Amino acid sequence: MSRKGILTIISGFSGVGKGTLVNNLMNMYDNYALSISATTRNKREGEVDKVNYFFMTKEEFESKIENNEFLEYANYVGNYYGTPKAYVEEMLNEGKDVLLEIEIQGAMKVKEIMKDALLIFVMPPSAKVLKDRLVGRGTETKEVIDKRLLRAIEESEGIENYDYILVNDNLDESTKRLHDIINVQHDASSRNYKFINVIREDIKNFSEGD
């Protein structure tokens, strides 16, 4: 069973610890690759092209939009951000399980193109834990906190579109669980039609007097 990688989209509430989980997953296990975003914003000190981002000009970015080279893209405060399809597919073909941390609207766009993407939504153990994280250390204004809570309500609307939820209560345990969820998908029969057919044809050949 030579196996293609699985594209896993990871979303979740702001402040729930998605980034830490993804980094921990990369450290604890081999076989994962992070999707690298493209952007037209300026490179900041310490950032490396093709590591942190694929940095490109507005013209380059827009020409790639026209050529359908993005799984999704968006424009935030005058800069483009997007997920280049080619890099993701290259990693998948190498057998890497590719991780894409992205918010829900982007996730739905990617799923339309990559129909066998696996969607995981990271949850807090309770709303109270989420609230404590959003409220922070009491130094935020009511306005900021209300905005964060509204954002969380919005984020919560689409959870049922995800295949799995992952409760982030203990970093290492949740990371292992994230790994298990992704890893067992390699055994989904929908990802093994080729292997199933080979076995089936081989048995038929035996039966015909091999």
Task: Catalog residues that contact a copy of itself under the rule CB under 8 A.
Answer: 1, 121, 123-124, 126-128, 130-131, 146, 149-150, 152-153, 156-157, 159-160, 162-167, 177, 180-181, 183-184, 187-190, 192-193, 195-196, 198-200, 202-207
Residue closest to 8 by CA, chosen among 181, 176, 177, 194: 181
Residue closest to 31 by CA, chosen among 73, 92, 83: 92
CB of 133 to a copy of itself, least distance (A): 12
Nearer to a copy of itself, 102 or 166 (CB): 166
**Residue 22 · residue 10 · CB < 8 Å:** yes
Nearer to a copy of itself, 79 or 183 (CB): 183
CB of 114 to a copy of itself, least distance (A): 18
**The amino acid at 121:** F
> Hey, what are 157's tokens?
């609307």
CB of 189 to a copy of itself, least distance (A): 5
- Round to whole Å and give the CA distance between 59 and 197: 46
Nearer to a copy of itself, 39 or 174 (CB): 174
Residue closest to 110 by CA, chosen among 74, 79, 77, 80: 74
* Cβ-based neighbours of 102, under 8 Å, separated by 6 or more: 9, 10, 11, 72, 83, 110
CB of 202 to a copy of itself, least distance (A): 3
Rounded to 10°, the helix 18-28/171-184 angle is 70
Nearer to a copy of itself, 13 or 81 (CB): 13
CB of 190 to a copy of itself, least distance (A): 8
Relative to beta strand 97-101, strand 79-84 is: unpaired
Nearer to a copy of itself, 80 or 121 (CB): 121
Relative to beta strand 54-55, strand 38-39 is: parallel
CB of 208 to a copy of itself, least distance (A): 9
Nearer to a copy of itself, 76 or 193 (CB): 193
